[in-house]
Amino acid sequence: MASDSSVTTARQATREEMRDAKLPLAYRDSCAHLLIPLNRCRYDTYYLPWKCEDERHTYEKCQYVEFKKRVAKMDELRAAKGGARSN
């Protein structure tokens, strides 16, 4: 399994690549470079769930790592405010 840093340090997809792949705006994030080949695999294999497992797991791992980064950043901001919540 790839380490956390190797999942997110790969090259990012350009706007043109995301546009050509017809990715919805909500999915154009730092893991889009993994979603493009996953969607291509899904299309080529008629969305058979057992055909694109490696691509799916890599994409989901990237999403999880990005989520953990956002949570850590929010914890840092909350600690800087003395533990006060924003809502």
pLDDT tens digits, residue range 11-66? 899 999 999 999 999 999 999 999 999 999 999 999 999 999 999 999 999 999 99
In a domain, 39, yes or no: yes
Q: How many domains would you assign to the chain?
A: 1
Query: CA 74 to CA 87: how far, in whole Å?
Result: 13
Q: What is the pTM of this model?
A: 0.81
Nearby residues of 62 by Cβ (< 8 Å), 6 or more positions away: 7, 8, 30, 31, 34
In a domain, 28, yes or no: yes
In a domain, 85, yes or no: no
pLDDT of 7 > 60? The answer is no
In a domain, 54, yes or no: yes
Print the domain residue range for 50: 4-80
